[in-house]
Amino acid sequence: MDFTLSEEQQMVRDMAQRFAEAEIKPKAAELDETHEHPVDILKQLGELKMMGIAVPEEYGGGGMDYVCYVLALIEISKACASTGVIMSVNNSLYCFPVDAYGTDEQKKKYLYPCAAGEKLGCYGLTEAGAGSDPAGMRTTAVRDGDEWVLNGEKKFITNGNVASYGVIAAVTEKGKGYKGISSFVVDFENTPGFKVGRVEEKLGICASGTSELVFEDARVPEDALLGEEGGGFRQMLTTLDGGRIGIASQAVGIGRAVLEEAVEYAKTREQFGKPISSFQAIQWKLADMATELDAAELLTLKAAWLEDHKKPYEKAAAMAKMSASDAAMRASVEGVQVLGGYGYCKEYPMERHMRDAKICQIYEGTNEIMRLIIARNLIQ
């Protein structure tokens, strides 16, 4: 068993780390406070081929593997979780399905701009009444001549307020349940009847926009259909598996930031004439954080390795997402405790890490759903 990174993987991780430390981390607190979309940072990430890491170079991407993606996303999320999730959604939830199921023409038109970092993509699945249960979806797509007419609202869509394109799930044949769901690539900038709805005010990841997508007799061309009609649910399952690897990476990055800051503070903060890092109670907190985060990172890298080698990775992705998000949340709570009163104040980034970590247990499938997926794979 060889845990050594390839030369390319090491290079990508080092490049992401240097960029994150120099260009992202110094701006993270301000982005969180102002809720500002990090336009300049994302442009630079595009130039570094980070917005479409695993997309073939001919379609604007980096042509690298998913292990590279995980390593890079951990470093970006460590500096700023908001930037991390924007990058994750563009890579995993938008670029992946267009690359995997799109025609050559669709890839040139819809994939290239997002993989190259010129535009942003999003993924429209969740609705007010259809979150963990996509069969409750009410957004419809009806064929009308050489067009499809979309009606419905999507909820909690990351990048929704800033995206130029979206992969949208809709019911194309009522009464068929999952088999009646199809996917469409929608050009938001050129689709009459589409508009961005409510933009959410959130607890964390505040520089990442989360919005409603509203379709009111929105007309898209016939060739906007992604893959085969009725194949949307199968596409969705595979897309979300990859998305969970992205969120696991984001969570590991948040946890790493927590651990570094907690260790540094514990070494310099003195009580009773000695640094608090000398107290067993603090040491145990740090030890638990480090152990859980290492385990989560290994699970995440395993899931990425399985995806790279075309092996089943549904269970591994669910394990990685659940483990990493739980580890990040536990670490952030303990990180605040280590810093005491300072951990609760915005003077230090620890409180931001705790706010950012929580969503990782919820989106891309709640951790309750992750446990169902893992159990299903065990007993089927």
- Catalytic residue numbers, as ranges: 364
Is the CB of residue 102 less than 8 Å from the CB of residue 185? yes
- Token pair for residue 17? 């780390």
Q: How many CB atoms lie within 10 A of CB 40?
A: 10
Place of tokens 């930031």: 257
Rounded to whole angstroms, the maximal C-alpha distance in the chain is 79
Pinpoint the alpha helices (H) of 65-224. Answer: 66-79, 81-88, 96-101, 104-106, 112-115
Do 371 and 322 meet the contact criterion of CB atoms below 8 Å apart? yes
Residues with Cβ within 8 Å of 207's Cβ and at least 6 positions away in sequence, in order, are 31, 32, 34, 35, 36, 37, 38, 80, 82, 83
The Cα–Cα gap between 339 and 318 comes to 32
CA atoms of 253 and 259, how far apart (whole Å): 10
CB proximity list for 286: less than 8 A, separation 6 or greater: 259, 262, 263, 266, 277, 338
In the chain the first and final C-alpha atoms are separated, in Å, by: 28
